[in-house]
C-alpha cells in the first residue's frame, strides 16, 4: 500500500510537470508591421515615401521608397538581410508605396479646402498567434489621424472616424486594390514573419527595451489572444483539481 501511495504521488507530480509549462510559458505570438507615410508635396530633398518596419513594437528598419535606400536601426534589421524574403520584401514595399501615392490626387480633391500638404498614412500588420493562426490588417489615415480599418481575413472595412468614409467608398468597390491589400498582409507579410522569426526569436528574448525611432503612426500593443485566456483558465482549474485529488488520496491511504 505504501508503494501504491508513492506511485500515486509520483503520478500527481508528473501530471503537474505536464501541465505546468502550459500555464506559465509565455505565448509564441509574434507581430510584424510596416508604417507607410506618403507625402503629397515633399520639399526638396525630402522623401515622398518612408516605410518604418517594426517587430513586437521594436523598429528594425526605415525604407525610402523613392531612393530605394534602407537604414537598419537595430541588430534585428541587420539579420533580415540574410533571409530569403529580403529581396522580395523591398520590392513589395515599393509597390505599396506606389499604390498609395496613386491615391493622393483623390485625397487632395477630397480635402481641397486644406492648404497644408497632406500625408497619407497606412499601417500594415500581420500577427502569428500562439496557436499558429496568422491574421492581417490595415489602418489608413491622413496627417497621422487613423480613420479606416481593413480586416484582411474577412475583407471587412470599418470607418473609425468620418475622414475614412471616402477611402472606404473608393477602395471597397475596387476589387484590385482590396485583393492587393489582402495579398500583401496575408501572403507576403506572413512569409516575411515566418522567415524572419527563425533568426529573431533568440535576439528578441535578449533585447532589454524596444528600439526607439521616429514614427508617424503609433503602434498598438497586441492584446492577448482570447483563446489563450481560456486555455490559461482551464489549465489552472485542471491543476487545482489534480492537487485536490492528490491531497484526498494521501489522506485516504
Output 99 or 68, whichever has higher pLDDT.
99
Task: Supply the pLDDT for residue 248.
Answer: 66
* Domain definitions of the chain by residue range: 2-24+231-252, 30-224
User: What is the rounded average pLDDT for all residues in the chain?
Assistant: 75
Task: For residue range 111-137, list pLDDT tens digits in order.
Answer: 545 556 789 999 999 988 766 777 899
Contacts 24+ apart (CB under 8 A), 227-232: 227/129, 227/131, 228/27, 228/29, 228/129, 228/130, 231/22, 232/23
Q: Report the C-alpha gap between 143 and 108 in whole angstroms.
A: 12
Task: For residue range 148-197, list pLDDT tens digits in order.
Answer: 999 998 999 999 998 888 889 889 989 999 999 999 999 999 889 888 88
Instruction: Indicate the CATH number of 30-224 among 2.30.30.100, 3.40.50.720, 3.30.500.10, 1.10.357.10.
Output: 3.30.500.10
Task: For residue range 186-209, list pLDDT tens digits in order.
Answer: 999 988 988 888 878 777 776 544
Q: Between 165-172 and 175-182, two packed helices, what is the crossing angle to 10 degrees?
A: 100
Q: Report the C-alpha gap between 100 and 123 in whole angstroms.
A: 12
Amino acid at each position: 500500500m505504501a508503494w501504491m501511495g508513492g506511485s500515486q504521488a509520483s503520478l500527481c507530480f508528473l501530471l503537474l510537470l505536464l501541465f505546468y509549462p502550459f500555464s506559465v510559458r509565455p505565448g509564441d505570438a509574434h507581430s510584424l508591421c510596416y508604417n507607410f507615410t506618403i507625402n503629397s508635396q515633399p520639399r526638396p530633398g525630402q522623401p515622398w515615401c518612408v516605410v518604418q518596419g517594426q517587430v513586437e513594437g521594436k523598429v528594425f528598419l526605415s525604407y525610402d521608397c523613392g531612393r530605394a535606400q534602407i537604414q537598419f536601426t537595430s541588430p534585428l534589421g541587420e539579420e533580415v538581410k540574410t533571409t530569403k524574403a529580403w529581396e522580395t520584401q523591398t520590392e513589395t514595399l515599393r509597390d505599396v508605396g506606389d499604390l498609395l501615392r496613386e491615391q493622393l490626387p483623390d485625397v487632395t480633391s477630397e480635402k481641397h479646402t486644406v492648404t497644408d500638404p497632406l500625408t497619407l498614412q497606412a499601417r500594415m500588420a500581420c500577427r502569428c498567434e500562439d496557436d499558429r493562426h496568422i491574421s492581417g490588417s490595415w489602418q489608413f489615415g491622413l496627417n497621422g489621424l487613423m480613420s479606416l480599418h481593413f480586416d484582411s481575413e474577412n475583407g471587412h472595412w470599418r470607418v473609425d472616424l468620418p475622414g475614412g468614409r471616402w477611402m472606404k467608398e473608393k477602395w471597397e468597390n475596387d476589387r484590385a486594390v482590396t485583393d492587393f491589400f489582402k495579398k500583401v498582409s496575408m501572403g507576403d507579410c506572413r512569409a516575411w514573419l515566418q522567415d524572419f522569426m527563425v533568426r529573431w526569436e533568440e535576439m528578441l528574448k535578449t533585447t532589454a527595451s524596444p528600439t526607439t525611432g521616429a514614427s508617424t503612426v503609433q503602434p498598438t500593443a497586441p492584446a492577448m489572444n482570447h483563446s489563450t485566456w481560456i486555455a490559461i483558465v482551464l489549465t489552472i482549474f485542471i491543476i487545482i483539481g489534480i492537487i485536490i485529488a492528490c491531497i484526498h488520496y494521501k489522506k485516504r491511504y
